[in-house]
A and B are shown apart, each in its own frame.
Chain A
């Protein structure tokens, strides 16, 4: 079964500085990788995904993520953080190998990002 780890519960960064939120995964087949963001009292919003192709994926709100197959990682990055980026970020993986009905979509535990003014 697939799994996702987000090793940091909390990431603090100053406004204007680059930010990284880490994610590593484990799958049996090829991974479909996703990042979601959750603002207070809201549902999860899609940021970006990696399916195949270029390892650097660009998404919403200036975020990007780099797929690294050898390190089984998919870290979320942004060159210059904004206070409004403060939220809870979830990494998720979907395994390309179907298992039973095969569409289990597994989330990491989440990383709370705080951007300080």
Chain B
């Protein structure tokens, strides 16, 4: 089944403790992206990637890192999480061009 898989689905952590949210797609998509969803703000793009080793900042990149060492994987790294990063995170992937994104099921992160 074609899908984007994120892990974990739920995560509660403490301020300053490094964490990684994994994302993997099995559709050979070139483009991958991370979004955060907050009430009243919709989805805001954190980082995106056009292909292996090619990444760029989205609208809200502060406090996040990404890497794209393999085409299928696009992990999101929070080096020192803070409470304002408590949010619902989505990974998405697509082919290049006029295609829409396929989304993962989301990761609900709480930083205390």
Contact = CB atoms under 8 A, between A and B. Distances in A.
Interface residues of B, number: 26
A107 interface: yes
Given A107-B43, A109-B40, A110-B42, A43 B104 contact: yes
Contacts of A22: none
Contacts of A109: 40-42
A13 to B, nearest CB: 21
Given A43-B106, A90-B42, A105 B98 contact: no
Interface string B1-36: 000000000000000000000000000000101010
A103 B50 contact: yes
Contacts of A101: 48, 50, 54, 56
Given A101-B54, A101-B56, A105-B33, A34 B42 contact: no
